Amino acid sequence: MPVPLFDTKGPLAPLRAELLARITEVVDDGRYILGPNVDAFEREFAAYVGADHAVGVANGTDAITIALRAMGVGPGDEVVVPSFTFYASAEAIPPTGAVPVFCDVDPDTFCVTAETVKAALTPRTKAVIAVHLFGNVAPVAEIEALGVPVLEDAAQAAGSTSAGGRPGALGTAATFSFFPSKNLGCFGDGGAITARDAEVADRVRMLRFHGSWDKVTYEHVGVNSRLDELQAAVLRVQLPHLDGWADGRRAAGQHYAEAGLGELVQLPVPVEGCAPAWHLYVIRHAQADAIAAALAAAGHGQKAYYRTPVHRQPAMARWGAGTSLPVTDELAATHLAIPLNPLLTAEQAAEVTATIRRALDAGRG
């Protein structure tokens, strides 16, 4: 039986009646933007991650731009960001007026480290974006110890835990995406920013609503980037189930390990002290493309998300040119996401593993 790359519908099936009931309430209530569900979700999500403040926004990309601006990032500043990440992590920087400076990552965890960040710091560095890639949790405290504020890009890490707390509670601020395929996804676009102190959170609220503190006077050129009531209502139904789904994602990774996948390819390695709610399960192998072709031929999902790293993308040429990131280039060439979802069974993991084993045996023979 073919195993899909991800399954957004399966985990939601038991919640169908409750989701429809909450959606109906919103339709009947008549408030559709920034209403009681958004207020309640902001409180519930802040409590879940262990942050003092949470603010709903329209998506995870706007969230990064708004959070950076709220942290004081602007023209003349540099923001350090990994190149091995989703493009939006870096795309969100130029709209603040600052420029991206790309750094490398750890080959086993896929995340930035204090060492890789340090190599990219200059006197103009105003902030570092620590991406919790694939659900792993970057070492935020070690990076802050370099003396630079950290914005967590936690778009892929809802449900993960670390010794220092959950993603979203580790840096000056953090951003989340609720795109449907993320660990916590709504039925459209959505996002949130969490913050440690009230000042940053207040500026986020001002920027998301046209740069106005009171919705009458417009002091700044902000944006229109709001979470709507339908999405917030859907997220409130799902949030209590996030930890259970995270357990399912970890169990799926365990199923692959028990099927012997680690003897065939490099498995992802959790950052020390962290329990990743794998958003994607990403393996590494020199023959990644041959493995992908074999999985595709068997009908199984697979995707090489970041074959061209961000610093080599055309739009980033003026900031990425001349940057040497050997680990990023190596990971870009060798990584491959294989099927993962909270309900993935041991049988499915064994089937995908067997397909990979056959592909590598054939390549050797």
Ligand X SMILES: *Cc1c(COP(=O)(O)O)cnc(C)c1O
Q: Which residues are catalytic?
A: 182
CA 279 to chain centre: 8
**Would you count residue 131 as binding ligand X (CB under 6 A)?**
yes
Residue 88 or 340: the one with the smaller Cβ distance to ligand X is 88
Which H or E element spans position 56?
A: strand 53-57
Q: Is residue 161 at the binding interface for ligand X, with CB under 6 A as the rule?
A: no
Q: Which residues contact 184 (CB under 8 A, 6 or more apart)?
A: 158, 159, 176, 178, 235, 238, 239, 242
With contacts defined by CB under 6 A, how many residues of the chain interact with ligand X? 15
Minimum Å distance from CB 68 to ligand X? 13
CA dist 204 and 208 (Å) reads 6
User: 173-212: which residues touch ligand X (CB under 6 A)?
Assistant: 177, 179, 189, 191
227 belongs to the binding site for ligand X (CB under 6 A): no
Helices (H), 209-316: 229-238, 242-258, 288-297
Which CA distances in Å does 103 have to 174, 217, 260, 271, 313?
19, 40, 33, 18, 15
Token readout for 265 is: 């390819």
Considering the complex, what minimum distance in angstroms separates the CB of residue 17 from ligand X?
A: 27
Residue 155 binds to ligand X (criterion: CB under 6 A): yes
Q: Which stretch binds ligand X (CB under 6 A): 118-126, 148-156, 248-256, 311-319?
A: 148-156
Query: Which amino acid is present at 218?
Result: Y
Nearest residue relative to ligand X (C-beta): 60
Give the DSSP H or E segment for 249: helix 242-258
Specify the residue, 132 or 255, whose C-beta has the smaller distance to ligand X: 132
Site residues for ligand X, 43-102, by CB under 6 A, read 59-61, 85-86, 88-89
Is the CB of 151 or the CB of 155 nearer to ligand X? 155
Whether 54 contacts 192, CB under 8 Å: yes
Residue 186 or 259: the one with the smaller Cβ distance to ligand X is: 186
Tell me which residues touch ligand X (CB under 6 A): 59-61, 85-86, 88-89, 131, 153, 155-156, 177, 179, 189, 191
